[in-house]
Amino acid sequence: MYEKILVPTDGSDTAENAVEHALDIAEKYDAEVHALYVVDTDSMSLTLGGEQLDRIEQGQFDEMEEVKGKADAATGYVADGAASRGLDAVEHISAGKPHDQIANYAEHNDIDLVVMGSHGRSGVKRAILGSVTERTLRSTHVPVLVVDVQEE
């Protein structure tokens, strides 16, 4: 049923909780796990110059070692978890609008299931902050499992 499972991750506790769910499902179906970290260029455009932003969108992170380090750590967490369960993993870093990148990755890599976390925000908080998870649900035809982590 599931041969390829995508786990978008930003390295947060919420994302790591979703990773555990994804790995459990992948283990049951012996599925390949894909870890995707998206550098949100919309949020970075306020602090970076145009040339730096263009380089990031093209996947050139040499001037942004902090971003690259965070991305590698986040996808590495998923890959390490998959390896510990005997599963194959693919790590990928992209840049752009997170929901668009997630939907595009899922479509172009024949993903069967996307597993991602959500903070469970509603109302004004969600309207102000936006919701990558909600936008992803509207952007893809691939089934999405949302792991809801209520704020303490």
> pLDDT of the chain along its 152 residues, tens only?
999 999 999 998 889 999 999 999 999 999 999 999 998 877 654 455 555 556 555 555 554 677 888 999 999 999 999 999 999 999 999 989 999 999 999 999 999 999 998 865 555 554 444 488 889 999 999 999 999 765 44
Yes or no: say if 115 and 54 are a contact pair by the CB < 8 Å rule: no
CATH class of 4-148: alpha beta
Task: Map out the domains of the chain as residue ranges.
Answer: 4-148
Residue 95: count other Cβ atoms within 10 Å of its Cβ.
24
What pLDDT, on a 0 to 100 scale, did the predictor assign at position 152?
41
Task: Give the DSSP letter of residue 116.
Answer: E
Strand ranges for 62-124 from DSSP E: 89-96, 113-118
pTM: 0.82
What pLDDT, on a 0 to 100 scale, did the predictor assign at position 112?
98
d(CA 99, CA 110): 17
* Total residues belonging to the chain: 152
Rounded to the nearest 5°, which phi and psi values hold at 68? -60, -40
Structure tokens at 82: 């998959």
Yes or no: say if 74 and 10 are a contact pair by the CB < 8 Å rule: yes
Give the CA diameter of the chain.
Answer: 46
Strand ranges for 4-131 from DSSP E: 4-8, 32-40, 89-96, 113-118
